[in-house]
Amino acid sequence: MKIDEIIQLLKKEDSPRSEFVKYMEDVHDPFLVLISCILSLRTKDETTYPATLRMLKLGRTPEDFASMEEETLSQAIYPVGFYRNKARQIIELSKELVEKYDSKVPSDIDELVKFNGVGRKTANLTLAKGFQIPAICVDVHVHRISNRLGYVSTKTPDETEMELRKKLPKKYWLDINTILVTHGQNICKPQRPLCERCCIAKYCKTFNSFKT
C-alpha cells in the first residue's frame, strides 16, 4: 500500500478540525495533555472541549488538582461521560504525581499506564503531544480507518497499535492520530462514510470491494 501518498493526500485535505483537536495540537504540557485526554474518553469533542476549558480555569498543575475537591471538579467537567469517575481519577493521578514523581509526568509508557484510568491510547497521546516522543495513539478513528483501508487487519485498538508500530514509517507517528481523527470526523465516519468525497478512496480496500 502506498502509505506515503495516502498520508500526503490526507494532509492536503481541507477538512475542518474540531476545537478539541486544535487544542490538543497546541498544548505541549504533558500534564495538560494527560488530563485532557482522560476527559475525552467516550465523549464527543464538542462536549470535551468546553469541559476542558472549564477544568483549566480551576488549575493547570498537579498541585492544583491534588488539593481539589472532587465535587468541584465533577461540576466543572460535567457532562463529559463518567464525569465523576474522571474527576476522581484526575485528582488521584495528580496526588500520585506530586507524591511519587516530583509533580512531573513520566515520559515512559510503562509508567503512564500504571495510573488508574490511563490506557495505551492516553499514554501514547501524552508521549506524542506532551513530549514529542514518537508514539502511535490509536483511538476509534485510527482503528477504523486503518482497517477500512486494509493497511491492517485487527480486531482491537491495541492490536492496531502494535501492527502500525511494525508497518507505519516512524516519521508519521506523531501526526497520524490528528490526521486520521480529522478524516474520520469529516469523511470516513463510523456509519455512512462519505466515500464519494474521500481523497484516498482509490486506495481503500473496503471502498473498492463495494465496486466489484
Please indicate, yes or no, whether residues 54 and 9 belong to a single structural domain of this protein: no
**Residue range 11-37: average pLDDT?**
96
Please indicate, yes or no, whether residues 44 and 94 belong to a single structural domain of this protein: yes
Decide if 21 is inside a domain.
Answer: no
pTM: 0.94
Model pLDDT, residue 211: 63
Please indicate, yes or no, whether residues 44 and 96 belong to a single structural domain of this protein: yes
Whether the predicted pLDDT of 1 surpasses 90: no
Work out the pLDDT band at 177, boundaries 50, 70, 90: very high
Decide if 95 is inside a domain.
Answer: yes
In three-state secondary structure terms, 199 is coil
pLDDT tens, position by position, 95-129 = 999 999 999 999 999 999 999 999 999 999 999 99
Q: List the domain range (segments joined by +) for residue 52.
A: 29-130
Please indicate, yes or no, whether residues 45 and 120 belong to a single structural domain of this protein: yes
Angle at 42 between CA 99 and CA 149, to 5 degrees: 115
Residue where one domain finishes, among candidates 64, 99, 130: 130
Model pLDDT, residue 61: 98
Domain of residue 121, CATH code: 1.10.340.30
Decide if 206 is inside a domain.
Answer: yes
Whether the predicted pLDDT of 14 surpasses 90: no
Model pLDDT, residue 210: 72
Please indicate, yes or no, whether residues 126 and 142 belong to a single structural domain of this protein: no
Whether the predicted pLDDT of 169 surpasses 70: yes
Decide if 78 is inside a domain.
Answer: yes
Please indicate, yes or no, whether residues 96 and 117 belong to a single structural domain of this protein: yes
Question: Percent of the chain scored above 90 by pLDDT?
Answer: 97
Residue where one domain finishes, among candidates 82, 102, 130: 130
Decide if 191 is inside a domain.
Answer: yes
Radius of gyration for the chain, computed over Cα atoms and rounded to the nearest angstrom: 18
Question: Percent of the chain scored above 70 by pLDDT?
Answer: 99
Model pLDDT, residue 5: 97
Decide if 10 is inside a domain.
Answer: yes
Please indicate, yes or no, whether residues 91 and 181 belong to a single structural domain of this protein: no
List of long-range contacts for 199-207, beta carbons under 8 Å, 24+ apart:
199/9, 199/10, 199/12, 199/13, 200/6, 200/9, 200/10, 200/149, 203/1, 203/2, 203/5, 203/6, 203/149, 204/148, 204/149, 204/150, 205/148, 205/149, 205/150, 206/148, 206/149, 206/150, 207/148
Decide if 22 is inside a domain.
Answer: no
Task: Say how many domains are in the chain.
Answer: 2
Please indicate, yes or no, whether residues 107 and 146 belong to a single structural domain of this protein: no
Decide if 24 is inside a domain.
Answer: no
**Residue range 155-183: average pLDDT?**
97
Please indicate, yes or no, whether residues 8 and 70 belong to a single structural domain of this protein: no
Please indicate, yes or no, whether residues 171 and 81 belong to a single structural domain of this protein: no
Residue where one domain finishes, among candidates 130, 151, 170: 130
Domain of residue 181, CATH code: 1.10.1670.10
Please indicate, yes or no, whether residues 146 and 173 belong to a single structural domain of this protein: yes
Please indicate, yes or no, whether residues 186 and 125 belong to a single structural domain of this protein: no
Model pLDDT, residue 209: 86
Model pLDDT, residue 11: 95
